[in-house]
Amino acid sequence: MQKYEDLKEESVAWLKSIGIDTSKLRFRDQEFKERAHYNKVATDLEYEFPFGWKEFQGIHYRGDWDLKRHSEFSGEDLSYRDDETGALFIPHVTEYSIGLNRLLLVIVCDAYHQDDKRTYLKLHPHIAPYKVAVFPLVRNKEELTNKARTVFTDLKQLGYYVAWDDRGNIGKRYLSQDEIGTPLCVTIDYQTLEDNTVTVRNRDTMVQERVKLDTLNQYITTFITNYA
């Protein structure tokens, strides 16, 4: 049963690694009457949705039922011999089951934030559709647009998923990226043309800082690595 407990811990650790708030998770052991007849133990992992606690993942210890039945109907011996003791036994199966739709619902519910200023998805950078967005401060200044396109292309070549947006004013672009969960926005402005620095805005805090272009890749990498 230690392996079963380890799997439960690994499940929570993985969800934490993609940004899920573990304080909204709990395990619930199914009662005997709820379990399938072949399950020795069955545990639901539940999330506290806005509409209440609901199961979105199951962990089941199925004993030797599966391989015994396979052997019975296939005629193949599926037993395993222990290298140290020489004993033969039928391996037991632990099943981990999670639905993609329910997992996505957990991610969206957990990431969704709204206050009096904005609505935003606080997605972990590991799963955000775009890691960074690049804007020219204004779209009708060729020198800004060309520089922004160069930064956009360079970041894509480094392997980042990058969004481009030159619609409307800069404030609306920030809000648009907040709504789809982009962690960082990079703005190319007039100061960029003077000193080769850009404005980098953090989605979660809305704090903006100047970053030199030749250190931008390291800045983004460090941000993603240290994100908590």
Confidence of residue 37 (pLDDT cuts 50, 70, 90): confident
Q: What is d(CA 228, CA 222) in angstroms, rounded to the nearest whole number?
A: 12
Query: How much is the pTM?
Result: 0.86
Alpha helices per DSSP H over 61-204: 65-74, 100-111, 142-157, 170-180, 190-195
pLDDT above 90 (res 55) = yes
pLDDT above 90 (res 114) = yes
Task: List % helix, strand, coil for the chain (3-state, nearest 5).
Answer: 40, 30, 30
Domains of the chain from N-terminus onward: 2-114 (3.30.930.10), 121-226 (3.40.50.800)
Q: Which residues contact 114 (CB under 8 A, 6 or more apart)?
A: 120
Give residue 31's pLDDT. 86
The model's pLDDT over 161-210, given as tens digits with 9 standing for 90+, comes to 999 999 999 999 999 999 999 999 999 999 999 999 999 999 999 999 99
What is the number of other CB atoms lying within 10 angstroms of the CB of residue 67? 19
Taking alpha carbons only, the member of 110, 69, 85, 111 closest to residue 204 is 111
pLDDT above 80 (res 106) = yes
In the DSSP assignment, the letter for residue 31 is P
Q: Give me the helix-helix angle, 216-226 and 142-157, nearest 10°.
A: 50
Q: Which residues on neighbouring strands pair with residue 88, listed in sequence order?
A: 81
Q: What is d(CA 95, CA 217) in angstroms, rounded to the nearest whole number?
A: 41
